[in-house]
Amino acid sequence: MASKVFYVDLGVELDLRRPDLGCPQVPGLWDQLYGNVSRGALRCIGFARGQCQPGCPEWMYLKVSTTGRRYAAHLRHGETEWSPESNEHKALKERIARAAVAGGFEATIEDRGTHRRTDVLVRGPDVLLGCEPQLSPISVSSVRRRSQTAYDDRITPLWTTNSRTANVIDQAPWARIDSMPWRQYLQPDFEMPVRGGIRKLDSIPCTPGTVCNDRKLRQPCTGWNHQFAPVQLPRFDDLIVRAAAADLKPLKQQTSRGSVFFWAPASDVAEVVTATGPALVTTLGPIAVRIPPKNPVVIGVDDDDECTYGDDTFGQYPWTPRPRENTDPVPVQRDPNAVAREARAVANLDAFLAEVSDRGGQLAADPVRTGTAPPGFVGWRLPMRYEPVDLLIPDTTYAELRGVAASAPRFL
């Protein structure tokens, strides 16, 4: 880690280990430079002294390690945080704005606040959606910092990437699309499937030999495993419109390996137990306590006073970066009222199947619980002899349905 960097504007060397950066004549210099430098502001100390490593990039930017240490990192060849905006980035911003306007929402490209610049700000009835297409590399700390800035302005961030290894994944609400030529982003009839970042609530029977999610949460087994499983969304435009309309909600689940962020249908979110209190991102399960970074420590030994290129960068990857996307199901607890409704629907289904059996009908396999259904109903699929039949079973008590005259559908 490079603890020294040359500040071109003042023509001085900065010592990042010191609270004042070794430049007491400019109070608050770190806050001025961190995340706000422009091209040509910070030069590698080796370049400034004429002692740079072979192949070393000239320019640097500031970072903070997980332990709170401040340092300067080299920009890798072929990438820069200050490069001109790419055609892909501009085209995707335009696509997002068009989708929002077509869905009946106001969209502003390059919306600016006191401490932020949002690529596309979509204004929904109850949601401010800050869309951030991120097709170039970015650090985890930058994603978290910029997301927090959005939260402070009551904006829900939506990071979009086309890479499985992108650092935006599971650091904030995100979505992954395919990599494609930039002109295709501008074709309204060209569908862009959302490959990652979307989940739906699944309920599967808890049978012997399976892991009981309820017991993992130290709760009595309800006979069902409820979990958010990854799904794909056929159209990226639908993600923008549904997120702005709050039909898709951002969720966060803390796991032993970190946090998982994803979008899920609002109807599914209403069915599960969540943390109480208002928040732009709904939290499932226990809330992780954030440990504030330590203050920078002044090191007595000048341990990295020279160019550190090769130690803090990866000019060429010696390995293939691993995907950051977590595809494991996220176990959740169903809301007690939702569980009770589900139990009533199961009882109604059993009564219905008994009627079908009395009329000579026969199932080819056990009924399968389907996805979300309109309020007051639970969806099931019956594998019948010739073709499956989808049913919506009321979740009221069977006694309340006795007075309803109905006949079994003609699928026998």
Domain membership of residue 58 as a residue range: 1-84+301-322
Per-residue confidence (pLDDT) for residue 285, from 0 to 100: 62
* pLDDT value at 163 more than 60: yes
157 and 238 belong to one structural domain? yes
Q: Write out the two tokens for 247.
A: 């039909």
pLDDT band at 302 (very low <50, low <70, confident <90, very high): very low
Is pTM, for the whole model, over 0.75? no
- DSSP string covering 246-286, please? TSEEEEEEEETTEEEEEEEEHHHHTTB---SS--SSEEESS
* pLDDT value at 178 more than 60: yes
Per-residue confidence (pLDDT) for residue 396, from 0 to 100: 74
Q: Are strands 156-161 and 42-44 parallel, antiparallel or unpaired?
A: unpaired
pLDDT tens for each residue of 5-41: 888 888 899 998 898 999 998 888 888 887 665 557 8
pLDDT tens for each residue of 372-392: 677 778 888 888 777 888 888
73 and 94 belong to one structural domain? no
Flag whether 206 is in a domain.
no
* pLDDT value at 406 more than 60: no
Highest mean pLDDT among 176-180, 212-216, 222-226, 319-323: 176-180
pLDDT tens for each residue of 88-104: 889 999 999 999 999 99
75 and 134 belong to one structural domain? no
Q: Report the alpha-carbon distance of residue 80 to residue 347 in Å, rounded.
A: 61
pLDDT band at 1 (very low <50, low <70, confident <90, very high): low
Average pLDDT on 201-223 reads: 78
Contact 21, 29 (CB under 8 A): yes
Average pLDDT on 338-357 reads: 81
Flag whether 211 is in a domain.
no
Flag whether 205 is in a domain.
no
Average pLDDT on 285-312 reads: 47
Average pLDDT on 319-341 reads: 75
pLDDT tens for each residue of 257-280: 778 999 999 988 988 888 866 678
54 and 141 belong to one structural domain? no
Average pLDDT on 184-202 reads: 92
User: Considering its fold, how many domains does the chain have in total?
Assistant: 3
Flag whether 62 is in a domain.
yes
Rg, the chain, Cα only = 27
Average pLDDT on 141-151 reads: 90
Per-residue confidence (pLDDT) for residue 319, from 0 to 100: 42
Average pLDDT across the chain, whole number: 80
Flag whether 92 is in a domain.
yes
257 and 305 belong to one structural domain? no
Output the CA torsion sign for 145, 146, 147, 151: positive
283 and 348 belong to one structural domain? no
What b-and-e string marks burial along 237-260, b requiring 16 or more CB atoms within 10 Å of the CB?
Answer: bbbbbbbbbeebbbbbbeeeeeeb
7 and 154 belong to one structural domain? no
Question: Lowest-pLDDT range, 11-15, 46-50, 159-163, 181-185?
Answer: 46-50
Flag whether 233 is in a domain.
yes
Q: Report the alpha-carbon distance of residue 258 to residue 324 in Å, rounded.
A: 11
CA angle 330, 336, 341 (to 5 degrees): 105
User: Measured between alpha carbons, how far is residue 134 from residues 93, 158, 366 in Å?
Assistant: 10, 10, 45
23 and 124 belong to one structural domain? no
Per-residue confidence (pLDDT) for residue 315, from 0 to 100: 39
18 and 30 belong to one structural domain? yes
Output the CA torsion sign for 133, 136, 140, 142: negative
Per-residue confidence (pLDDT) for residue 218, from 0 to 100: 74
pLDDT tens for each residue of 112-123: 888 888 999 999
Per-residue confidence (pLDDT) for residue 45, from 0 to 100: 84
3-state secondary structure of 129: strand
Q: Report the alpha-carbon distance of residue 362 to residue 383 in Å, rounded.
A: 9
The CATH number given to whatever domain includes residue 153 is 3.40.1350.10
Flag whether 220 is in a domain.
no
Counting residues of the chain whose pLDDT is more than 90, the rounded percentage is 28
Per-residue confidence (pLDDT) for residue 55, from 0 to 100: 66
165 and 30 belong to one structural domain? no
Flag whether 106 is in a domain.
yes
93 and 189 belong to one structural domain? yes
379 and 308 belong to one structural domain? no
